């Protein structure tokens, strides 16, 4: 796990509330654009006259972009024209000098903001003695909340917009093939100020998102109150499961239950269908006041049947709220003028942003190809054979491909606890770990010196530095008995992130391209490290089937998550085609879409049609269009891992993670030499099948 993904949710929410109280004058919805198309053309002409027509493209782009960000409060029409004439930089060396100054200052700003966040969150993240509620209040403070408004107010944003205009994703993928790293760095500076969404609209987006998050976080099912048709309770009295994550995990854990596992799984699936169809009695959500038989959808109080009303499509209202809030901001974006485009093609504008930078069309094409791979039927047959029964819809979560190691967890615990009694011991060993992985002494010492290890309160994370003067942080759980194997395994994963964070900050040509294209590219190195955890402890991998089983497990779980993500994407396309729909119409559409996706890709493998199970994911409600990240993240991961096989590991890692933050397409071309592809994973599944069968 990387820290960023969590951070962004927190800071976004907080950012908006801080903005609220300040009520920035220069970014409210009444502050209108005052530069019309005619003024843009006149200004472009005036600049071309002054600076020469060889700068046509840059001038036209820059003026149009600056105009899209300019508001009445920034100045009059003639002040805009004057500003452009005065601030446009024709001379290439002056432009590079200005770029270097901006870049250096942004490193300082972002690096220190990151450092402040790190400090203010220290007592939340680290096991640092007693926790007090004031710690959370500090953790909620966001030092970067005013960055963008300040930079419009002091006009630096307009200097950047005019001289370093942004490029669309298509342009980056096309023109960027031949860009130098300096040209890439210019383009990345251009991504910092791409759209100026009024504070009210950003607040509304954040509010809709927060509310959806709260709705989901309180969607618990009281399992001890579920009844089967014989009036029996199958689950422990005090078991409370959050939808959909815990419900799904409970289905998974019941594969090992030979006694009544299937009945429990059927009961959970029945609950899921009521959630999707919104036939769930509203009063059984997050409450154990009533007993509920989900098969017959009857509710009881002290043994007597009581009629309760169903949830009134609230689930779908949350999606609609997200849609309406995001759609309202569409007109402020030039290229990415729908939420779908922003979610897929959008570039990050600050270190805390998330970006995919793969177009939605491209993602859908990849997913369609994968979901149509014939090998799925063979894997399905194998699972059916292992289960000794026909497949059920919830077998999308089949959990039986896990390979067990012959080394007991206790003996691993003994080893890690004695080796790493505290965080400092682990930190001191980082150099040795890098050397075991092939790095030369000096290089290993450099990378290790940039990573600090802290004992975490939570399960662990890796937090990058954002400026060269600071260290990346590795957090993992360590009890007073020392680091157990679970904590060690996570720590090795996080260390992979830290190595990526260090290489991609220190070894890229320009600060503006530091980092990786998106989270998949850092997860890849983290998983590669994690896989080598036993090797680093001096053990040999003892299960020869392990890798084959893992590949089958991955193939099957990617198949599931791609199906879910396909539903998510098609729902958002439907929303844009039916912008005036209500929650009930949306519900019908989601169920239809889920059934269609099931019937197209899953039905033949499972032998049943019209199963809406793919619509159960909570991400669809609280993190719209996020799900695709998991799938193509796995694809990219796998492709990179395959590529590294048999190569000089440390040399390759140094080389490819110093490419920096170009687009995923260009990164893949520069590193593994081909586009993102589904084939390595499918080939591996086919090979694994041959072996296991």
| Minimum distance, C-beta of residue 655 to Zn ion, in the bound complex (Å) | 22
Gyration radius (Cα) of the chain, Å: 27
Measure the CA–CA gap between 496 and 430, rounded to whole angstroms: 11
Q: Does 636 bind Zn ion (CB under 5 A)?
A: no
| Minimum distance, C-beta of residue 526 to Zn ion, in the bound complex (Å) | 4
Vertex 441 angle, CA 437 and 447, to 5° = 75
In the bound state with Zn ion, the residue whose beta carbon lies nearer, of 490 and 569, is 490
Measure the CA–CA gap between 632 and 366, rounded to whole angstroms: 9
Contact region for Zn ion (CB under 5 A) — 318-326, 416-424, 524-532, 578-586?
524-532
Site for Zn ion in 93-122 (CB under 5 A): none
Contact region for Zn ion (CB under 5 A) — 122-130, 432-440, 521-529, 612-620?
521-529
In the bound state with Zn ion, the residue whose beta carbon lies nearer, of 513 and 526, is 526
Q: Are 430 and 451 in contact (CB under 8 A)?
A: yes
In the bound state with Zn ion, the residue whose beta carbon lies nearer, of 526 and 549, is 526
Helices (H), 359-454: 360-371, 375-387, 409-419, 423-436, 441-449
| Minimum distance, C-beta of residue 496 to Zn ion, in the bound complex (Å) | 8
In the bound state with Zn ion, the residue whose beta carbon lies nearer, of 567 and 653, is 653
Q: Does 329 bind Zn ion (CB under 5 A)?
A: no
In the bound state with Zn ion, the residue whose beta carbon lies nearer, of 353 and 440, is 353
| Minimum distance, C-beta of residue 116 to Zn ion, in the bound complex (Å) | 24
* DSSP code string of 52-106: -GGGHHHHHHHHHHHHHH--GGG--HHHHHHHHHHH----HHHHHHHHHHHHHHH
Contact region for Zn ion (CB under 5 A) — 6-14, 249-257, 517-525, 546-554?
517-525
Q: Does 433 bind Zn ion (CB under 5 A)?
A: no
In the bound state with Zn ion, the residue whose beta carbon lies nearer, of 250 and 523, is 523
| Minimum distance, C-beta of residue 20 to Zn ion, in the bound complex (Å) | 33
Contact region for Zn ion (CB under 5 A) — 346-354, 375-383, 412-420, 525-533?
525-533
Helix (H, G, I), strand (E, B) or coil at 583: helix
In the bound state with Zn ion, the residue whose beta carbon lies nearer, of 1 and 433, is 1
Q: Does 208 bind Zn ion (CB under 5 A)?
A: no
Output the CA–CA distances (angstroms, integers) from residue 514 to 23, 138, 465, 661, 675, in the order listed: 33, 28, 11, 6, 21
| Minimum distance, C-beta of residue 522 to Zn ion, in the bound complex (Å) | 7
- Residue carrying structure tokens 């002056």: 94
In the bound state with Zn ion, the residue whose beta carbon lies nearer, of 245 and 576, is 245
Measure the CA–CA gap between 87 and 60, rounded to whole angstroms: 14
Q: Does 562 bind Zn ion (CB under 5 A)?
A: no
Q: Are 501 and 648 in contact (CB under 8 A)?
A: no
Kindly determine how many residues on this chain lie close enough to bind Zn ion according to the rule CB under 5 A.
Answer: 3
* DSSP code string of 427-441: HHHHHHHHHHTT--H
| Minimum distance, C-beta of residue 472 to Zn ion, in the bound complex (Å) | 13
In the bound state with Zn ion, the residue whose beta carbon lies nearer, of 315 and 493, is 493
Contact region for Zn ion (CB under 5 A) — 282-290, 479-487, 515-523, 528-536?
515-523
| Minimum distance, C-beta of residue 490 to Zn ion, in the bound complex (Å) | 9
The residues, ordered by sequence, that sit 6+ positions from 130 with a Cβ below 8 Å of its Cβ are none
Virtual CA dihedral for 88, 90, 93, 98, nearest 10 degrees?
0
In the bound state with Zn ion, the residue whose beta carbon lies nearer, of 412 and 491, is 491
How many residues in total does the chain contain?
A: 693
In the bound state with Zn ion, the residue whose beta carbon lies nearer, of 520 and 676, is 520
**Partners of 301 in the β-ladder:** 304
222 Rama sector, left if φ>0, alpha if ψ -120 to 50, beta otherwise? beta
In the bound state with Zn ion, the residue whose beta carbon lies nearer, of 563 and 633, is 633
Extended strands (E) in 134-236 = 220-222
In the bound state with Zn ion, the residue whose beta carbon lies nearer, of 223 and 526, is 526
| Minimum distance, C-beta of residue 520 to Zn ion, in the bound complex (Å) | 10
Measure the CA–CA gap between 343 and 310, rounded to whole angstroms: 33
**Partners of 341 in the β-ladder:** none
| Minimum distance, C-beta of residue 122 to Zn ion, in the bound complex (Å) | 21
- Residue carrying structure tokens 């109080």: 301
Residue of 23, 30, 33 whose CA lies nearest to 333: 33
Vertex 506 angle, CA 502 and 511, to 5° = 115
Contact region for Zn ion (CB under 5 A) — 519-527, 544-552, 612-620, 624-632?
519-527
In the bound state with Zn ion, the residue whose beta carbon lies nearer, of 520 and 526, is 526
| Minimum distance, C-beta of residue 523 to Zn ion, in the bound complex (Å) | 5
| Minimum distance, C-beta of residue 198 to Zn ion, in the bound complex (Å) | 35
Contact region for Zn ion (CB under 5 A) — 1-9, 250-258, 350-358, 417-425?
1-9
| Minimum distance, C-beta of residue 419 to Zn ion, in the bound complex (Å) | 22
Contact region for Zn ion (CB under 5 A) — 85-93, 131-139, 339-347, 518-526?
518-526
Measure the CA–CA gap between 70 and 75, rounded to whole angstroms: 8
Virtual CA dihedral for 19, 21, 26, 30, nearest 10 degrees?
100
Q: Does 492 bind Zn ion (CB under 5 A)?
A: no
Name the DSSP letter for residue 340.
H
Of the candidate residues 447, 526, 561, 676, the single one contacting Zn ion (CB under 5 A)? 526
Q: Does 491 bind Zn ion (CB under 5 A)?
A: no
Q: Does 1 bind Zn ion (CB under 5 A)?
A: yes
Q: Which two tokens stand for residue 385?
A: 């054979």
| Minimum distance, C-beta of residue 615 to Zn ion, in the bound complex (Å) | 27
Binding site for Zn ion (CB under 5 A): 1, 523, 526
């Amino acid at each position: 796990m990387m820290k960023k993904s969590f951070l962004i949710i927190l800071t976004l929410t907080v950012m908006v509330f801080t903005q609220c109280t300040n009520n920035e004058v220069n970014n409210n919805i009444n502050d209108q654009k005052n530069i019309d198309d005619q003024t843009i053309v006149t200004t472009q002409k005036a600049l071309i006259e002054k600076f020469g027509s060889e700068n046509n493209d840059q001038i036209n782009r820059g003026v149009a972009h600056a105009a899209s960000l300019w508001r009445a409060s920034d100045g009059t029409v003639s002040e805009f024209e004057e500003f452009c004439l005065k601030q446009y930089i024709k001379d290439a060396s002056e432009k590079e000098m200005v770029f270097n100054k901006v870049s250096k200052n942004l490193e300082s700003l972002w690096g220190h903001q990151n450092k402040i966040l790190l400090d203010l969150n220290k007592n939340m993240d680290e096991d640092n003695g007693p926790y007090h509620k004031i710690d959370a209040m500090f953790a909620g403070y966001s030092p970067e909340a005013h960055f963008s408004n300040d930079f419009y107010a002091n006009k630096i944003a307009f200097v950047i917009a005019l001289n370093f205009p942004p490029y669309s994703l298509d342009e980056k993928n096309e023109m960027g093939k031949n860009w130098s790293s300096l040209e890439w760095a210019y383009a990345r500076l251009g991504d910092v100020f791409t759209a100026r969404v009024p504070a009210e609209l950003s607040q509304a987006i954040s509010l809709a998102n927060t509310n959806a998050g709260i709705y989901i976080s309180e969607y618990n099912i009281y399992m001890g109150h579920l009844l089967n048709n014989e009036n029996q309770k199958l689950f422990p009295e005090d078991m409370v499961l959050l939808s959909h994550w815990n419900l799904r995990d409970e289905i998974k854990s019941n594969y090992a239950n030979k006694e009544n596992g299937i009945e429990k799984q059927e009961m959970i699936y029945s609950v899921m269908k009521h959630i999707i169809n919104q036939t769930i009695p509203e009063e059984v959500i997050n409450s154990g006041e009533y007993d509920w038989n989900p098969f017959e959808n009857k509710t009881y109080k002290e043994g007597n049947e009581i009629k309760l009303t169903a949830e009134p499509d609230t689930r779908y209202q949350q999606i609609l709220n997200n849609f309406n809030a995001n759609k309202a901001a569409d007109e402020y974006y030039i290229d990415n003028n729908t939420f779908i485009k922003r979610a897929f093609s959008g570039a990050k504008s600050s270190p805390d942003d998330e970006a995919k930078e793969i177009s939605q069309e491209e993602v859908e094409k990849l997913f369609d190809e994968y979901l149509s791979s014939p090998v799925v039927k063979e894997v399905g047959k194998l699972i059916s054979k292992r289960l000794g029964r026909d497949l059920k819809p919830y077998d999308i979560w089949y959990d039986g491909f896990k390979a067990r190691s012959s080394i007991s967890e206790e003996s691993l615990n003994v080893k890690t606890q004695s080796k790493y009694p505290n965080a400092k011991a682990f930190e001191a060993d980082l150099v040795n770990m890098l050397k075991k992985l092939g790095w030369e002494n000096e290089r290993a010492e450099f990378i290790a010196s940039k990573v600090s290890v802290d004992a975490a309160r939570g399960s662990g994370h890796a937090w990058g530095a954002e400026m060269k003067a600071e260290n990346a942080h590795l957090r993992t759980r360590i009890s007073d008995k020392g680091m157990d194997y679970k904590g060690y395994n996570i720590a090795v994963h996080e260390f992979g992130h830290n190595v990526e964070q260090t290489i991609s900050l220190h070894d890229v040509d320009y600060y503006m391209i530091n980092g990786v294209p998106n989270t998949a590219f850092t997860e890849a190195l983290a998983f590669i490290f994690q896989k080598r955890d036993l090797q680093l402890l001096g053990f040999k991998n003892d299960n020869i089937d392990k890798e084959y089983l893992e590949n089958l497990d991955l193939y099957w779980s990617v198949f599931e998550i791609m199906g879910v993500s396909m539903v998510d994407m098609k729902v958002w396309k439907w929303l844009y085609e039916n912008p005036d729909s209500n929650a009930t119409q949306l519900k019908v559409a989601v169920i239809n879409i889920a059934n269609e996706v099931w019937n197209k890709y899953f039905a033949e493998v499972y032998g049943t049609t019209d199963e809406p199970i793919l619509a159960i994911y909570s991400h669809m409600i609280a993190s719209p269009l996020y799900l695709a990240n998991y799938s193509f993240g796995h694809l990219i991961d796998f492709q990179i891992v395959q590529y590294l096989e048999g190569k000089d590991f440390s040399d390759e890692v140094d080389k490819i993670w110093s490419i920096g933050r170009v687009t995923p397409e260009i990164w893949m071309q520069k590193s593994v030499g081909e586009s993102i592809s589904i084939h390595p994973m499918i080939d591996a599944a086919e090979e694994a099948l041959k072996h296991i069968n």
